[in-house]
Amino acid sequence: MNFEWHFRHHVGRRLDKWRHYFDIYDRHFDRFRGEDVRILEIGVDHGGSLQLWKRYFGVDAQIVGVDKDPRCGALAEEQIDIKIGNQADIEFLKGLGAFDIVIDDGSHNQMDQLASFETLWPKTRHVYLIEDCHDAAPRLAGAPIVYYYPWVVVAEKPERLIRGDPSRDLRKDEIDAAERYGC
């Protein structure tokens, strides 16, 4: 069941998504479904998208929502934790820990998006997605793989996949790559 199916069958709090984002979510997030992942969404609003991410990623996912509105704290539930703070507050963001996926649907202000990205990207293990870049997509310095879509920018960390037994002793660069990328 793809993201659109989950969106169309959502029962719960209000959520608001652009239809052309659905394929982007599936392209970049599908491989993490059913996995033990930690997801951060900046911008809680009514909390519906947090519930949707919870169902989309599955029972092993831990969803964290960040919002500056203290009323959002009441939206926590099983698998969903809410942190109250500003997405441009670097010290607050540093205290959140590491995430597999970060979804920035917060202020939609480019300066806030860049502050969040620069702070969270080093501890993001896989995908960083920024929504609603209507005016202009921020340029994500330091991200090796970046995709630009209408109103969305996605940064990914490379995943080096190696299978099979070596047919000879590994070279120094192969040993270094295995240590760096965990393969």
List, in sequence order, the alpha helices (H) in the chain. 3-8, 22-29, 48-57, 90-94, 110-120, 172-181
The one catalytic residue in 9, 46, 108, 126 is 108
The structure tokens listed for 62 are 């831990």
Residue 38 identity: R
Determine whether 108 is an active site residue: yes
Span between the terminal Cα atoms of the chain, in Å = 30
Report helix, strand or coil for 148: strand
123's CB contacts (< 8 A; 6+ apart) are 97, 98, 99
> Taking the CB of residue 30, how many other CB atoms lie within 10 A of it?
13
Residue pair 87/115 in contact (Cβ under 8 Å)? The answer is yes
Q: Are 67 and 47 in contact (CB under 8 A)?
A: no
Give the amino acid at 177: A
User: Which active-site residues does the annotation give?
Assistant: 108
